[in-house]
Chains A and B, each alone.
Chain A
Amino acid sequence: MEEILKIEHLVKTFGTNEVLKDIDFTVSKGNVISIIGASGSGKSTLLRCINMLEEATGGKILYHGKDILSGEVDEDKYRTKVGMVFQSFNLFNNYSVLDNCILGQTHVLKRNKEEAKAKAIEYLSKVGMAQYIKAKPRQLSGGQKQRVAIARALAMDPEVLLFDEPTSALDPEMVGEVLDVMKDLAEGGMTMLVVTHEMAFARDVSNRVIYMADGRIEEEGSPKDIFYNPQSPRTKEFLSRFTAN
């Protein structure tokens, strides 16, 4: 399987606080990887380093073999290939739903307006939001905003999508609509790296699960291994919180 991202000995410190300690893993085409772990274990920081919103302190992030930290990869171009969906949506408040999905295409990818619009509508339909193209973000519910944010990321034709707790800011009744969209994407072959507290998603949709604790990968394996046969006592302890009821 074609390797897209290879993380080697990744380290990130904030001041003296070492948040990521020697992280190693590989993302290949078509992988759907769930990253689980307690709050504060460094999951967001890991995604933000991969998307270059934070600058890694040490180690390598290889994108098709090229280290993005070395300066030889164009940061903005790289970001179009590695999209990100945030917990807080981060839709552009000053644009309509449609323009949110067009802006990056026309200004970053230099697509013409027609093509960008067609693509935006295609992906908005995919997430079930095509009817809302004229709405402003503030007029949408959380679940709707997140689906638009996913469409916005997809419209850039990324190779990998990073999701940072995409359902954590949602009211419970809206979690399902977003997870359904993500499940569709996964089944369609999208390469995804998903930080989540939705254990059912991690277990049923992803094909690999990474459990993080204290800035390290404590355990990594298939959903079956992690959920039904965890090796590390810390993984067991963490998962027991979800299976208690």
Chain B
Amino acid sequence: MKLSQSSLLLSDFGGEMTIAEMNFFQRMIYILQQYGGSLVKGAATTMAIAIICTLLGCVIGFAVGLVQTTEPHKKDGLLKRGILRVVKFILTAYVEVFRGTPMMLQAAFIYYGMSQLFGINLGMWSAAIIIVSVNTGAYMAETVRGGILSVDPGQREGARAIGMSHFQTMLLVILPQALRNIMPQIGNNLIINIKDTCVLSIIGTVELFFTFKSISGALYTYFEAATVTMIIYFVLTFACSRILRYVESRMDGPSNFDLATTDTLAFTSGLTKYNAKKGGTF
């Protein structure tokens, strides 16, 4: 059936032709014509899962990293110290287990385990999102911990010395800087997630890799289908890495700043550019 359809579509290329008779490029064009819609859908699913899960993973990572870098206050009682230790232990176990096992098995474990043990049937989407987020969170936790520790301790002291609480210090001063420090790793995680959502095909999520498997299974054109799918993956990851670079440079702000004109006596002619890199020539 499909093959006869293809011969109709490919009449431009010289009449009746079966898949077997096509050359490499004709097969790729055929795949795009026949499965373009599925590929776009698959790519969209992959991107949606990767982006949502990277964001959720960051939230989890920040929460875990924050707890793990919290030291008990000297005045805290035994109970509070005990609770903190237990929570830290559980979080460490979470990080180690999810970093130390393949995501494909985690997916099977959670998806089938939930239905078998608790009779809970996670929808495919929720299962996919939970698995990838929790997995990303485990990696991000370590990254965030490192990001927090890499912020100059003087920043904390500067904040504490003007009376900021621990919470304010973290929220306003330390975490924004930690976030900036770990932006490259967040980008890295996003790119890994774009590729790694392919393991979700084990629970039947129709993402880009699943689409590839359907196409190659239907047409037996593994090489061409792989080529097309790889190009799509590459375009997605490359675009993401460029966009993230741009976001990073936006976070850094401009390298120039405008001198304010509060001192109107000295600066009557409006804004004066001060180039920080050139070291103070007006």
Contact = CB atoms under 8 A, between A and B. Distances in A.
A101 to B, nearest CB: 10
Given A92-B159, A93-B177, A153-B162, A132 B168 contact: no
A86 to B, nearest CB: 6
B180 A94 contact: yes
Given A94-B176, A130-B263, A132-B260, A108 B164 contact: yes
Nearest to A103: B172
* Of listed B152, B180, B253, residue having the most chain A CB within 10 A: B253
A90 B165 contact: no
Nearest to B178: A94
Given A84-B161, A107-B172, A156-B162, A92 B260 contact: no
A76 B163 contact: yes
Interface stretch (A133-141, A201-209, A237-245): A133-141
Contacts of B217: none
Interface string B141-178: 00000000000101101111111110010001100110
Nearest to B253: A136
Contacts of A92: 155, 158-159, 172-173
B125 interface: no
Contacts of B168: 107-108
Contact of A108 (B158, B163, B176, B258): B163
Interface string B235-256: 0000000000000000001010
A125 B164 contact: no
Interface string A93-135: 1100000000110011100000000000100010000111111
Given A104-B164, A131-B260, A152-B162, A90 B172 contact: no
B180 A79 contact: no
B257 A136 contact: yes
Contacts of B165: 76
Contacts of A76: 163-165
B259 interface: yes
Nearest to A55: B74
Contacts of A125: 262-263
B48 interface: no
B267 interface: yes
B173 A53 contact: no
Contact of B163 (A53, A79, A86, A139): A79
Interface residues of B, number: 34
A52 B42 CA distance: 57
A124 B157 CA distance: 21
A80 interface: yes
B219 interface: no
A240 to B, nearest CB: 34
Interface residues of A, number: 40
Contact of A53 (B160, B164, B276): B160
A36 interface: no
B158 A91 contact: yes
B257 A139 contact: yes
Nearest to A99: B172
A68 B276 CA distance: 43
Contacts of A149: 158
Interface in A129-175: 130-136, 138-139, 141, 149, 152-153, 156
A74 to B, nearest CB: 9
A168 to B, nearest CB: 14
A94 B162 contact: no
Interface in A73-90: 76-80, 83-84, 86, 88-90
A15 interface: no
A139 B256 CA distance: 8
B278 to A, nearest CB: 11
Interface in B189-203: none
Given A76-B163, A94-B176, A104-B164, A86 B158 contact: yes
A191 interface: no
A136 to B, nearest CB: 6
A109 B87 CA distance: 33
B163 A156 contact: yes
B41 to A, nearest CB: 40
Given A90-B155, A131-B263, A139-B276, A71 B163 contact: no
Interface of B: 74-75, 152, 154-155, 157-165, 168, 172-173, 176-177, 180, 253, 255, 257-263, 266-267, 274, 276, 280
11 contacts: A53-B160, A78-B163, A84-B161, A86-B161, A91-B158, A107-B164, A107-B168, A131-B260, A131-B262, A131-B263, A139-B276
Given A55-B74, A90-B157, 11 more contacts: A71-B75, A84-B161, A90-B154, A92-B173, A94-B176, A107-B172, A134-B260, A141-B280, A149-B158, A153-B161, A153-B162
The 3 A-B pairs with the shortest beta carbon distances in the complex, nearest first, are A90-B158, A139-B276, A80-B163
